[in-house]
Chain A
């Protein structure tokens, strides 16, 4: 909503700077979005007089003019307009000025003649659309005076944000009322009543409202014999300031009154309206029929649906109620009589019509928010009076006023104690009363000072409850005056719960392990699961969006893998090869019959490339060449596993294992399930090259994804301390040659079990294949450490039991001792 301060100042005194005014409006709920200074754009444009006019020597349609702009020298200006004579006064843009359309005026050579400026049309100065020729000024225009000053064009326009609860502020008068209230001053409501003449309207027009719940009031006036032409300058200037293009006097007046009073108006060419059987013009307000169409004023042919409210005559639609009129009844140069509509249409139906046709007008914007049904009559009278004055119209006596449901007066109770209890203030009754009266509300004080009865005018439909009045008091009295306090509640304990603390700890461990947190979209490509060869469980379904932004974001993610793999690709395409990411995020799935889906949080980690770019610390290998060696080893399965190990250890989860698994999106043989207390809590492995290709990522990429709830459930918060050993350990190394199929974990477990009470730990330190080891076998070397709590062990004491254990394990696993 735009307001012109120049216009506003005709209704109330504004005795402060723009900055002060802006602050005051901002702090009382009318946000000032922009301040536009009009007239400043015309700097350098002055009133000039054409003192000579000669044909251009080299161009038929150009003139070489000599112009007096009040300075010492006359200017030579080349000009293409044809509508002027020597002696005419015109606006002249001098060299260095910039016109509102952005054109910079420079010294220019036009067909060999140097031009020192430009004689301007109205359109070039941003004053309407007339570009047929120069804007000829009256003979008394003072030469040399800045044009904006001469025309009193300087104005300040404020672009205001009007909140949806304040439809009354969508007019000049409404804003004048609001500004008067917040500035503590008074304002004048412009009004008018036309002289009426001729046959009364009642004999010439019949109005029927077929859907009274969608149109609470319909009024019409008849104005005969209008002369269509341009509007007066002052009116054009005001509507242009508010962003409206001038059309003709009748249409401009309907727009002007809408801006002024907030009531949208529409003018029909009376001659084009269909008549009823008795020959009377007939307006019908009804829902559109299926299949009906209307060509609106903007020339668009539009399909209508029964959800829309239309204005019709007996022949069909003539307007979209509250949105836009029809071309078939448009006011034109030939129009003689007009029927002027001022009505009150339902907010929801107007919104539906406007939005389903993607047609937003000044009128629809107002009806969508709510227009005061009591405003129709005043707007009719004001517009009729202006049309009589500026269009030469003869206003028919009376108006048609169809108002199916009379509008009820309302009043609300307001308790002073409630105001102060809600705001934390101690306002006296007087302050409250002052605010309410300033807003145009009627106030009656009772019960001493403690209660008010407040009359709510029809232009404030938003005031329906006591709290609405409390808001008004706070807003106008001043939010900035309310003292800041902190709540004093006694039963209040803050903090994270245990799940939230674990979650933070998991994130911290991911970072300690070298992973960087990222966030990816919850919506993904439905094809992503296929790219992963991921198969949903029986009955499990993806969560589908009905209106995604694009097909690539049409379902909610079931796993974080696609988002992270795309992040790898994003990095690699930009030359970032080493990628270490984690995300703590939500995944979704659903099944038939479910309303809300299942939501689960998971933690996923991803490693691609190497741990770091080449450094001078990395060992060189002559065999592989300097380059390969410098880059250090590529990340693989065990880098991922190392992170999982660190995480589970940090969570105090001791009973877990890695189980070789068939995971379709992971490379066979480098894929595992993480099992905690017999339950799978997630997967880990190197992403299959085939999958990487689908996501345009380069190998190696190691990933894992673990269920947060399962981890948190298994996590152990308090682990009792154990004694630090006081006696030294004794350690033996053993290398066992086993079949490839035998897992390191099973050998380690067998050794742990067979080793007896003194065996403290079993540590794998080498895996060897090659010379000396038969095909299909591998050598696993372990260090077994024995320790007693109460003495230093000797070789003699431990050796026999150790040897027995090794023999037992070898026998059970078919292992051979490697010498």
Chain B
């Protein structure tokens, strides 16, 4: 049998074995058997020197052809096997995709802070700055400079928390004090007007305190947002336009507002602002007590007496102020059945917003 015949037989046999190799290891065995250092083809190539000069180039050429052919077949088979193995591995890695995922759960913002921030954002858009004031206040800022008469009932110790005054000697013994927990954010108005010249466009969010027993609709500590504008030519129409815009941003563009004349000591004219009920659309339902309206704001033009306390010229400047209770907005927007949930720190409640 000639060497060429030997080569051809070997090729046929090798290709068959390559095709039959079921995994990487047996394929390697086949490779070693033919192309390894001691492999059959290697042996033939090594034996080229002993061939005749006539036979040598033909056998050499054919050997190389066979070798290339086998290498290509080995590569092909290897790729096939790898593909099969990958497929098998991938299919073994399948998971139940309905199992819960894994992640660090971020915390939530408190509902009251979230609503406060939403209000703040609306007024920043209207060009307001955010200001704050002390929570422990003087009677002067909380009542007097806001045009409350000396005997105003809100001053009563049944309504307002008083704080021990460590400055005045006499007051300590009588237990009377003109230091108190602010009952509204309005004193910030006075502090701003004392310290700044108009134009003033400010919003003052913050905690306030009233001596109410905590129940589903009252908290002794709650949150207000106060707004104050003082500028030349400010009109009641500007107040209406501003709060119309706010209510639409806050409650939705399909909501209507209405202004009802009211009385507050530090604004005149004063109004309460209602927004149309979101549940019934204004037709009346249990939620809005069959009125179609929900009261959400108090407002008015800054009373000239208040300007008097801070030396602002009432002939040159006018202004408006407004205030809202954040807990009330929260209760209306999120249907909170009991305001006490807002201060209990129950994780199951806090995680909802």
Contacts and interface: CB of A to CB of B under 8 A. Distances in A.
B301 A595 contact: no
B261 A28 contact: yes
B209 A522 contact: yes
A737 to B, nearest CB: 34
B332 interface: no
B138 interface: yes
Contacts of A496: 120, 124, 130
Contact of B346 (A465, A484, A515, A570): A570
A567 B347 CA distance: 9
B347 A31 contact: no
Nearest to A591: B166
A594 interface: yes
Contacts of A348: 150-151
B282 interface: no
B166 A545 contact: no
A357 to B, nearest CB: 14
B350 A518 contact: yes
B251 interface: no
Nearest to B263: A163
B235 A421 contact: yes
Given A423-B236, A467-B303, A576-B346, A519 B162 contact: no
A512 interface: yes
Nearest to A34: B289
B22 interface: no
A564 B345 contact: yes
A594 B166 contact: yes
A347 B138 contact: no
B268 interface: yes
A345 interface: no
Nearest to B271: A479
Contacts, number: 263
A507 B109 contact: yes
Interface in A685-732: none
B102 A615 contact: yes
Nearest to B222: A519
Interface string B98-109: 011010111111
Contact of A479 (B113, B126, B150, B261): B261
Contact of B163 (A504, A512, A545): A545
Contact of A468 (B150, B199, B213, B268): B268
Contacts of B165: 595
Interface string A471-508: 10011000110111111111111111100100010010
Contact of A590 (B105, B166, B220, B344): B166
Contact of A491 (B108, B123, B199): B199
B198 to A, nearest CB: 9
Interface string A551-585: 00100100000011011101100101011111000
Given A511-B107, A517-B350, A596-B179, A492 B201 contact: yes
A347 B149 CA distance: 11
A570 B163 contact: no
Contact of B238 (A166, A487, A504): A487
B241 interface: yes
Contact of B244 (A421, A484, A513, A586): A484
A383 to B, nearest CB: 30
Given A484-B240, A493-B127, A596-B179, A29 B260 contact: yes
A464 to B, nearest CB: 10
B236 A512 contact: no
Contacts of B318: 421-422
Contacts of A581: 345, 347, 350
Contact of B129 (A494, A512, A544, A579): A494
B105 A547 contact: no
Contacts of A70: none
Contacts of A578: 347
A809 interface: no
Contacts of B199: 489-492
Interface string A26-47: 1111010000000000000000
A548 interface: yes
Nearest to A549: B220
B337 interface: no
Contact of A595 (B112, B166, B233, B346): B166
Given A424-B237, A482-B236, A514 B104 contact: yes
Nearest to B284: A19
A487 B207 contact: no
Contacts of B107: 510-517, 580, 582
A607 to B, nearest CB: 11
B268 to A, nearest CB: 5
A549 B262 CA distance: 30
Contact of B136 (A352, A355, A425, A599): A599
A586 B181 CA distance: 13
A558 B105 CA distance: 31
Contacts of B137: 596
Interface in B176-190: 177, 179, 181
Contacts of B102: 615, 617
Contacts of B244: 484
Contact of B259 (A479, A495, A522): A479
11 contacts: A351-B153, A482-B240, A495-B124, A510-B107, A520-B343, A543-B163, A544-B164, A553-B220, A581-B347, A596-B136, A612-B105
Given A487-B231, A497-B130, 19 more contacts: A28-B261, A29-B262, A421-B235, A423-B237, A480-B259, A486-B126, A489-B231, A517-B109, A522-B181, A545-B181, A549-B211, A563-B345, A567-B345, A574-B348, A595-B167, A596-B138, A597-B136, A599-B134, A615-B100
